[in-house]
Amino acid sequence: MAAVRAIDIRTAIPGPRSREILERKARVVADPLSVYLPVVDDAGRSLEWEVHGESLLIRLGKARKAGEAFEVRIRYDAKPRRGVFFMAPDKAYPKRARIVWTQGEDEDNRAWFPSYDYPNQRFTSEVLATVEERYEALSNGRLVKVTHDKRRKRKTYHWSLDKPHSNYLIALAVGEFDSKEWNADGVPVQAYVPKGMGSFIDRCFSNVPDMVRFFGKMTGLKYPWPRYAQVCVPEFIVGGMENTSITLLYEYCLTDEKAYNDYRPESLLAHELAHQWFGDWLTTKSWGHVWLNESFATYFDILWFEHFYGKDEALMRIETDRDNYFEETVKAYKRPIVTHKFTESSDMFDRHTYEKGGSVLHMMRNELGDDQWWKAIRHYVMKFSSENVETNDLKVAIEEATGRNLDTFFDEWLYKAGHPEFEVSWSWDDKAKQVELRVKQTQEVKDPVPLFRVPLVVEIAWDDRVQRESVRLERADQVFRFDAPRRPKAVLFDPDDILLKKVTFRKEKDEFLWQLANGKGVWPRMEACRGLGKFIGDDTAVARLQKALTKDKFWGVRREAAGALGEIGTQAARDALLNGAKDKDSRVRRAIYRGLGMFRRDEVAFKALSEAYMDDGWYYPMQTAALALAETRHDRAFDTIVKGMDRPSQAEVLARGACMALANLRDERGLDVLKVRTAYGRPEVVRYGAAWALGKLASYHEKRRDEVLEHLVGLLRDPNYRTRVGAVLGLSELGYPKGIDELEKVAAAEPIAQLRTAARAAIRDIREKHAEGAKRIEQQEELDKLKDENKGLKARLASLESKVESLRKKR
């Protein structure tokens, strides 16, 4: 693993410009690191030094004035366990590429070079890397020169970034690569992938030049760095990292078309590119404000989707983000997006910082209107050009650009937590010719969750016209009255689905039917599907959902129709689902398979799912089919899932889905199938999925818990990061208090911060589960039984209703 012979990093340690800086010394970490004498100053004099924990203290020899520039040379070597990673083939992974890569965010660059490692200061940087001649070394900024020492068979790459940036954005990648370069209005856009994978480049990266132009135009700032390189590296520990002018990416974004629709690398690429503006050019001043990096990258990715694929596609992305955020609020916590209360800064990189923040920016854009929003963004980018920012800077920039005061908005959505939950109903007052709309805000209002004061649009619709009303929701219970010529066909609450919220809107079946057939935007039609899913045993609902499933032009509506039919769960609904099963959009097929999974021990559904699992051909639908097969609890589900589980797919989504399907199936035989797949030598993502599923499955088999616990604990010390993550998730699922001691060791000593965060979450989970007591398993079984009974009841209800219907007709 001797790809890098020497690295010479030159950064400026910032001068003491503020009190805060004086208190933060340059830091090195306690990873095995040796500093060699002499540490020298710019005159070549040796200086005294000491290492204190994370600080390297250097005595300057003579007094220096604040703000005075001077040079210190530190010669050191290190064996970092984080920050820099050396990938190389071994017996178990003979094909693994020999590549070195780094990952600095949030505070890991200090593990491979002594540095001022906090984002609140910016400086220029240079990296000189000497490597064996067959390797290429890539780093930030501009390549100054390459010198070739032919005798010693080495090359030295000299990279320089002459515009200041923050320490965590310094990066290095060394290896043998295939590459390609584009030109985006003068900006060189480059893609590097491990040698031999060059055929993936076009499919993955060809839209990036368009993104470079789009972000440049919309922000008013042309791409600000000398070039934009993207480098795919093996076993990268995050999806992507926006190092200044050189984004590193995991190799799983290189995929064939069979993952498309369900997985689009463009989303990752747009996110990392957007960071070159929001994150790198304007950088958060501290981790508590990191949403200024991450929410912007999340939302600008969506804005590019809107520009390239249209508004409806963008809305679907926002929907998914909201669901991810809601899931975190249910499973873990609600917190203000801006906060300084965290155990470690890595705790901040959660669904609040990414997904909720993106949704908040979407609302902000709608509150300001497009013109004002872009005016504000451009002003913010220009005003804080090449600076570190905090949340209030954005608020002030908006005020200056638009004259709008967003105090309330920032207070509720950024400094407070949660989201509004509404119960809505409407009625028609024939005498007054008015629509009466009642809105109750029902979330528990308790610090930090406020009662929200938000603007919202209500649409009143007839066959031939619509009427839009703007209201402001600001009380726990409000009634609005709108004049209207006659009783409307439908009343829509937030028809463009702008607001981050949960809504229960009780409506008659006929209104949903009208809405599904006549809704202009996609959201009202989707909402109608969800509503109709509650009318069990209703032939009209099934027929109209089937029509939507097979005929609606937008896939998102077809997907909702499939979901609703699954909810309805009668034989007629099942047949309707089968009718749509050949949809050309994989995202709709996934919903159909999910829906078919609701039919317990149903031969027809099982057969359709078995075929889908083996023959759909697209990775994500096959993954969904595996999970649905488990839900059917069919006698042959186990064998079917195992038979197809080792087929390769993008990021092994199929194998991982099958692992989780075995856990959900609860068949004890799955334990051995999963154990085998955690072995060193299997793809790291499979090991991750298998370890996670193993813990979940063992939670249903008390006698095997100790054995699985021991197995997972062994994996906590695995050399592969993702496998360690899988083991932590597995222990969390296992919910066995005996695992807490081991997880505490991870939380204390694991080198990679995200995993320490995950370990703390797992400990919290286990304690909660344990507090609930052994009831959990009994409850699961009870739930299973109820689901079976429910299916029987639905069938009986449907047949009774049809009997009643035919009796009525006979009369």
Residue with smaller CB distance to Zn ion, 362 or 501: 362
Residue with smaller CB distance to Zn ion, 129 or 414: 414
CB of 347 to Zn ion, least distance (A): 16
Residue with smaller CB distance to Zn ion, 279 or 595: 279
> Would you give the distance in Å from CA 46 to the centre of its chain?
49
Round the CA-based radius of gyration of the chain to a whole number and report it: 29
CB of 275 to Zn ion, least distance (A): 5
Helix (H, G, I), strand (E, B) or coil at 714: helix
User: DSSP secondary structure string, 37-75?
Assistant: EEEEETTS-EE-EEEETTEEEE--SS---TT----EEEE
Q: Give the pair of three-digit tokens for residue 588.
A: 């709709």
Residue with smaller CB distance to Zn ion, 233 or 565: 233
CB of 291 to Zn ion, least distance (A): 11
281 and 221 in contact (C-beta within 8 Å)?
yes
**Total residue length of the chain:** 811
226 and 280 in contact (C-beta within 8 Å)?
no
Q: Please list the helix, strand and coil fractions of the chain in percent, rounded to the nearest 5, in that order.
A: 50, 20, 30
482 burial via Cβ count (<10 Å: 0-12, 13-18, 19+): middle
- Chain residue at closest Cβ approach to Zn ion: 297
Q: Give the pair of three-digit tokens for residue 219.
A: 């922000």
Q: Give the pair of three-digit tokens for residue 127.
A: 């990296």
Residue with smaller CB distance to Zn ion, 280 or 527: 280
| CA-based end-to-end distance of the chain | 86
Q: Give the pair of three-digit tokens for residue 80.
A: 């970092």
Which residues, listed in sequence order, are joined to residue 250 by a DSSP beta bridge? 233
Residue with smaller CB distance to Zn ion, 302 or 460: 302
Where do contacts with Zn ion occur on this chain (CB under 5 A)? 294, 297
CB of 599 to Zn ion, least distance (A): 40
Whole-number Å distance between alpha carbons of 83 and 105: 8
Whole-number Å distance between alpha carbons of 131 and 109: 20
CB of 238 to Zn ion, least distance (A): 9
DSSP state of 81: S
Residue with smaller CB distance to Zn ion, 126 or 294: 294
In the numeric block, the tokens 């070549």 are attached to 44
Buried b (16+ CB within 10 A) or exposed e, 240-249: bbbbbbbbbb
Residue with smaller CB distance to Zn ion, 183 or 320: 320
186 and 151 in contact (C-beta within 8 Å)?
no
Whole-number Å distance between alpha carbons of 755 and 741: 15
Whole-number Å distance between alpha carbons of 231 and 238: 13
CB of 271 to Zn ion, least distance (A): 6
Longest dimension (CA), the chain: 108
Residue with smaller CB distance to Zn ion, 338 or 709: 338
CB of 165 to Zn ion, least distance (A): 15
User: Which strands, in side-by-side order, build the sheet including 421-429?
Assistant: 477-483, 434-441, 421-429, 502-505
CB of 500 to Zn ion, least distance (A): 20
CB of 278 to Zn ion, least distance (A): 9
CB of 356 to Zn ion, least distance (A): 14
Whole-number Å distance between alpha carbons of 483 and 542: 34
CB of 250 to Zn ion, least distance (A): 13
Residue with smaller CB distance to Zn ion, 297 or 708: 297
Q: Is 185 left (phi over 0), alpha (psi -120 to 50) or beta?
A: left
β-strand pairing of 246-250 with 228-233: parallel
Q: Give the pair of three-digit tokens for residue 105.
A: 């965010």
238 and 103 in contact (C-beta within 8 Å)?
yes
Query: Residue 347's CB: how many other CB atoms inside 10 A?
Result: 19
Whole-number Å distance between alpha carbons of 691 and 424: 44
CB of 346 to Zn ion, least distance (A): 13
Residue with smaller CB distance to Zn ion, 270 or 529: 270
209 and 190 in contact (C-beta within 8 Å)?
no
Q: Give the pair of three-digit tokens for residue 629.
A: 């097969």
CB of 458 to Zn ion, least distance (A): 36
CB of 351 to Zn ion, least distance (A): 13
Whole-number Å distance between alpha carbons of 35 and 655: 46
Residue with smaller CB distance to Zn ion, 294 or 494: 294
Going 497 to 498 to 500 to 501, the CA torsion angle's sign is negative
CB of 294 to Zn ion, least distance (A): 5
Residue with smaller CB distance to Zn ion, 215 or 505: 215
Residue with smaller CB distance to Zn ion, 299 or 512: 299
Residue with smaller CB distance to Zn ion, 292 or 364: 292
